[in-house]
A = this chain, B = another copy of it.
Amino acid sequence: MTAPPDAALLELAAAAGARLAAAGETLVTAESCTGGWIAKACTDVPGSSRWFLGGFVAYADSVKCHSLGVGPDTIQRYGAVSEPVVRAMAEGALRVIDAATWAIAVSGVAGPDGGTADKPVGTVWLAWSWRQKDGSLRTETCREQFPGGRDDVRRWTVRLALERLLAE
């Protein structure tokens, strides 16, 4: 199974963006393992400023806490690659950038280092959060195990992040 090429990511980003723009929705990102790649894919699309507001590359744990309001205790208890952390990242992004209606957050082990028995290389947690009509946030999360090396794991992550946004 070949990881998605740049052209496939661009196509997905364009489709997700068209859907957001048509609905008057706007997106922010909160990325750890992809390190800005989701935002890069979104802004590859001409005219993306209509639906993409910006985001955070929260690579260091201190940035996850400081910029997105993730609790240091949450990271210590569950690890940076965990459901509570990506949930807090996505919801934190929507709280900080309060004009946005959608957030994507990802945190994973892209490798080559950092894998453990519980969370081997390729383990990624993703979260999609959106603002409901009453202002409250709703969030869905999933854990994936992607194949391949660092570049592959990051590509699969960008693809799923955008694909599921498109499906919501």
Binding site for B on A (CB under 8 A): 29, 31, 33-40, 42-44, 46-49, 52-60, 62-63, 66-67, 96-97, 99, 111-113, 150-151, 154
Contacts and interface: CB of A to CB of B under 8 A. Distances in A.
B36 A99 contact: no
Given A35-B40, A40-B37, A96-B67, A62 B53 contact: yes
The SS class assigned to the A binding surface is mixed
Copies of this protein in the assembly total 2
A40 B33 CA distance: 10
A66 B35 contact: no
5 contacts: A34-B43, A35-B39, A36-B37, A39-B59, A55-B57
A59 B54 contact: yes
